[in-house]
Structure 1
Amino acid sequence: MSVILSERRENLKEISNRKVVEHNDLITGVAKMDKTPIKIFELAVSCIDTKNPPENNSVCLTKKTLFAFFDVTDTNKNFRFKKVIEEMQNQIFLINKKTSKGNTYERVVPIPSIKWSDFDDIVTFRFDESVMPYLLDLKDNFTQFALMDIMEMTSKYSIILYKWIMMKYNQFTHYEQGAKRTEQQLESYRNPVMEVAELRRLTDTLTQYKQFSDFEKRVLKPAIDEINEHTRFAITYDKIKKGRSVIAVKFYGARKEIPEPFYKQEQQDPAYTQAESLKKQQEVQDFIDLQQNPYTLALLNTQLIGVRDMTDIELMVTLYRKVYPLYDQLAEKVNRYEVERHLLYVKEKQQAYSKENIAKYLYKAISSYLKTI
């Protein structure tokens, strides 16, 4: 196992700084592909120089690099590699474009030709001509994301939803830097809303998980958990209802500071001890857990914290460890709605100076309130 892990670290170093750039029509298209073929497609795209068409629309990768996408415990990677290649030949993107006359549809087999041999390590991928406009010379309406963010994902839904969220976040950062957009328009990019019907179309689950509770359990929540665990983003979501039915989902996201991945960690630093490593791992795990905590969403909704605050690991972990347990006490003594009423009251009475140390302010407020009950 240690030999396999060491080999995988070396393979990952080679692609650790790669970016994937794709037209937004490809991001919003339906990837009728399984998890590993999607990953390999994104890896191949990361090899393209977006300004210069590759010769014969082809790029080359090594088998070792491709194997980094497979499970590290897999002892028969050559066999698995061939199976994945077979799968890729039969899987497609269904691209939906909106025009003034109505919708148009394009069915694309992105990589129809793949060549390899038994006597060397090179694998050649040839992209179909029809997919190249979505990958080359992109001047607008494109999305860029880090290839490493999708490396450890185990679900295709995680990859699909992450790419869509990145598309919206990239639009937000672009327009925030001076392009003329209203605050409402910026909010729609920063915290985008997607109708459930569109979410099902994007994830290719129109005929699956008919009850939203099943869809949330099987698709939405696991995808959000993986995005929070493996990427540079912290994501939460809120369900929008009409009557008793969930009709849309609103996503809240922000960049976060995370430790270097395992393949980059350097053990030579004498200050790097096992205890410190475990402490950092626990802090990151707490940070991931709190993204889905209902108190985080309540604080966001009352504007006691903002999306940018969620990128501050020290602040958010302090809230998770010291403040949230007190909210649990209040919910247990009264009910969970009392926590929401308390936060609304705290927001109403908040002074500007408290924003400089919001964790201390919230801790003092709930501690004082608990003493009155």
Structure 2
Amino acid sequence: SFTIKINETAKPYFFDLKNNFTALQLKSVLNCSSKYAKRLYAIACQWRSIGTKRFEIPELKKMLGLIDKKGNEQFERISDFKIKVLDIARKQISENTDIELDYELKKKGREFYWITLHINSQKFKQLEIDFEKPINIQKFASKLVTYGFSQEQAELIAGKEKEKDFDILITELNEKIRQRKLKIENSVGYLVGIYQKKGILPVKN
């Protein structure tokens, strides 16, 4: 057994968490490869019940880590900010999470100064059952899609691999990553490679 003591100064903040917190889906965060998409998803989750949130562009850039304490700024040109941050984040969040995100830029004088985030909660589609195929295989394929496989890849794997073997594979990989025995930059690409070596997925020339 062990005992934990919370610092008296910090204690009020821990109790405050019961009423002030942001709920987000961890899998949704992990499915976004852009660090700006991850941060914007968390911000969007804070305002999802309202549906919209307006920021000064410099304020949002600071929240995204694009302006440091010394005032050094990344993506100063609005076109670079849109292409390299906002557009990528909008696409990844809308495709991979339970939120559909859009944005609108407005000028103050001759320069863009305000950004309004438009946030719509979206429910994932219910699994459509094809009664000509085994339901357990369809459920497994749907699960594989959530891990980042395409529908075609998921169906090929589900038709030849057992779900319990896939679960064992994921558990073993997670353990190797946790022990720092393995470093994976692209988890989906790594898994695709495994099933290509098994001969389940075709190798692209």
TM-score by length of 1: 0.31
Partner of 2:92: 226
Partner of 2:123: 257
Partner of 2:35: 156
Unaligned runs of 5+ in 2: 68-72, 128-132, 152-205
Partner of 2:130: none
Q: Counting helix residues as a fraction of each chain, which structure ranks higher?
A: 1
Unaligned runs of 5+ in 1: 1-53, 58-126, 173-188, 262-266, 282-373
Using a 3 Å threshold, how does the CA distance of structure 1 residues 161 and 128 change in structure 2: closer, same or farther?
farther
Classify the secondary structure of the residue corresponding to 1:192. Answer: strand
Matches within 5 A, 1:264-275: 268-269=134-135, 272=138
Partner of 1:214: 80
Q: Deviations over 1:38-75 (max 9, x none)?
A: xxxxxxxxxxxxxxxx9548xxxxxxxxxxxxxxxxxx
Query: CA offset at residue 244 of structure 1?
Result: 3.2
- Quick check: 2:100–2:121 contact (8 Å CA) kept in 1? yes
CA distance in 2, matches of 1:135, 1:224: 32
Partner of 2:25: 146
Q: How many residues align?
A: 134
Q: Counting strand residues as a fraction of each chain, which structure ranks higher?
A: 1
Query: CA offset at residue 243 of structure 1?
Result: 3.3
Partner of 1:184: none
- Quick check: 2:47–2:119 contact (8 Å CA) kept in 1? no
Using a 3 Å threshold, how does the CA distance of structure 1 residues 128 and 219 change in structure 2: closer, same or farther?
farther
Classify the secondary structure of the residue corresponding to 1:215. Answer: helix
Residue from 32, 46, 51 that aligns with 1:190: 51
TM-score by length of 2: 0.53
- Quick check: 2:105–2:112 contact (8 Å CA) kept in 1? yes
Using a 3 Å threshold, how does the CA distance of structure 1 residues 202 and 243 change in structure 2: closer, same or farther?
same
Partner of 1:350: none
Residue from 42, 62, 78 that aligns with 1:201: 62
Residue from 96, 108, 112 that aligns with 1:246: 112
- Quick check: 2:37–2:90 contact (8 Å CA) kept in 1? yes
Which amino acid letter does the alignment assign opposite residue 234 of structure 1?
E
Partner of 2:175: none
CA distance in 2, matches of 1:220, 1:269: 39
Partner of 1:168: 47
Using a 3 Å threshold, how does the CA distance of structure 1 residues 221 and 56 change in structure 2: closer, same or farther?
farther
Classify the secondary structure of the residue corresponding to 1:252. Answer: strand
Using a 3 Å threshold, how does the CA distance of structure 1 residues 240 and 155 change in structure 2: closer, same or farther?
same
Using a 3 Å threshold, how does the CA distance of structure 1 residues 222 and 259 change in structure 2: closer, same or farther?
same
Identity %: 26
CA distance in 2, matches of 1:129, 1:149: 35
- Quick check: 2:99–2:121 contact (8 Å CA) kept in 1? yes
Q: Deviations over 1:242-287 (max 9, x none)?
A: 23311111111211122479xxxxx84189499xxx9x96xxxxxx
- In terms of Rg, which structure is larger? 1
Classify the secondary structure of the residue corresponding to 2:47. Answer: helix
Q: Deviations over 1:159-213 (max 9, x none)?
A: 11111111112xx3xxxxxxxxxxxxxxxx3211111011111011121111111
- Quick check: 2:108–2:114 contact (8 Å CA) kept in 1? no
Classify the secondary structure of the residue corresponding to 1:142. Answer: coil
Query: CA offset at residue 239 of structure 1?
Result: 0.9
CA distance in 1, matches of 2:91, 2:113: 21
Q: Deviations over 1:288-316 (max 9, x none)?
A: xxxxxxxxxxxxxxxxxxxxxxxxxxxxx
Please, what is the CA RMSD of the aligned residues? Answer: 3.8
Which amino acid letter does the alignment assign opposite residue 193 of structure 1?
R
Matches within 5 A, 1:63-102: none
Using a 3 Å threshold, how does the CA distance of structure 1 residues 128 and 245 change in structure 2: closer, same or farther?
farther
